[in-house]
Structure 1
Amino acid sequence: MRRDNLGDLTAFLTVAQELSFTRAAAKLGTSQSALSYTVRRLEERLGVRLLTRTTRQVMPTEAGERLLRTIGPAFEEISAELAALSALREKPAGNIRITAGEHAADAILWPALAALLPHYPDIRVEIVVDAGLTDIVAERFDAGVRLGEQVAKDMIAVPIGPELRMAAVAAPAYFATRPPPLTPQDLTLHACINLRLPTSGGLYAWEFEKDGRELRVRVEGQLAFNTTHMIVGAAVAGFGIAFLPEQIVAAPLADGRLVRALENWCPPFPGYHLYYPSRRQPTPAFAVLVEALRWRR
């Protein structure tokens, strides 16, 4: 391969990933005109058009998409290895991007980072709160945090928290008007507060288990939210039964604003895991973060 091909391919990859000559030029530290010339030179040498340019956007052609799929992962691995080498210094340093749900970010990530980062001033962490099942490779995250049962099999998964349990809860005033449910099927007679799922857009079907018997119940009520904070508030206000991880409702349970139901139908399940691609070489900074987060019973 000609040596200048490597620079031209880097230029093409950056434009194709950023979908903008302006952003790609800023990222590469060059001018937009020089970058445009480099990409045209590569297209002429290959004899195919790689990018479709309009006044509004830049998009890869079919040939460009094929080239992006073929060489993109290899260039990412090279970049990761170079980053790992450059990070070999006395104190770990570098940028780390993590995606996590709101509860995991608040309860797991932030306490660990607050204790860790003062000792490593050259480590910079970005946390993106997203309840959906983000593709961390496509979105260029170093890692994600999800429940153990949600982690893809081809990922390295590190437990970072204890087992969790769900809790069906309501305000004492709500249960004063009707008897608490004794079985999950009884929920059909109650006002329930639904959770709107960010991935599918549907309503979460409440999941129960007892003596190996699993049940999924579709519940109904006046209210549905896509954030747990709002669900807790509605439950405390007496609008019905909520179904959330017990850690989220620990405070209102402790002070009596909420009471539990169906506790024997809510066994523990695998808690939060940090996950990342098995083929990616962790940097020293990332390794330090993993050890700080690793759950130790």
Structure 2
Amino acid sequence: MLERSAIFRLLAAAPLCALCACATTSASQAEVGALQAELRALRESQTRLVDRLERLEAHSAVERARTPGSSPATKQAIPASVRVAAPAQDEALTMTPELSVVKLKPRFEPAPRLATQVAVVEPESEQVEMFISNVPDGAPESGSGGATMVTTREDDPADQPDPDVLEADYEKSVSLLRTGNVEGGVQRLRRFSEENPRHPRADNALYFSGLGQMGLNEFKDAARTFERLIATYPAGDAMLDGMLRLAECRMRLNQAADARALYTRVVTQFPGTAAATQAEQRLAALPQ
């Protein structure tokens, strides 16, 4: 019985011993890991300190070599295996050799002087007579020749019509065509173009008056209006449309050859425009 009880005690104590052994082993491994990490940190710190010490020694050796009056023994004390770091910005400026400034004379000569004097030429008498007239009796003379400049109505700003009034007059004339008073609109537009030939709307006034004449079946008068438009305002925005309308008038007057010539002129002289596209289509529709 005593032997059995001793065996039971041993069997009961065996698990406790195993647990203690496992705990001791785990604690030992943790301590070993911590010591290894601390050792690595110390080695890294030592490596950084060694590198810094080498840089300081190299810098000190360079300073001793550059200092005047240093002995050869001091210069020989510089270790051959020392790694020299790149000099700082101020050191690089100090080590730059001094350069002498040389002024070069320009190789080019100054530009030659150009003659700026212009000969004065008197105008011809025929040209002068276009701008002067005899001074009437009692009028002050402007010069020894007894002549003065002629002032026209267009040159006097006070006699110029109000632009807003002209614009309103043009818009009202066009509205007459749209509302059915074609004859009245044609007359107002023709008068507008005759009285204000330099107005920006003068070419459009001629164009719309020609359209009104076509609406009244007055194709001869309309053709003359479009011819005047093309001859007077060749750079106006209504010129190309006026050429197309003139060709239509030629067709109405049984002048197919003239109409074909006008369409061909639009295609050849103004390619790529909308008017040229219309002219090509109408050329294709003309009888051969």
Identify whether the pair has TM-score above 0.5, normalized to the shorter chain. Answer: no
Structure with greater contact order relative to length (CA < 8 Å, sep ≥ 6): 1
TM-score, normalisation: structure 1: 0.21
Say which structure is richer in helix: 2
Structure of higher CA gyration radius: 2
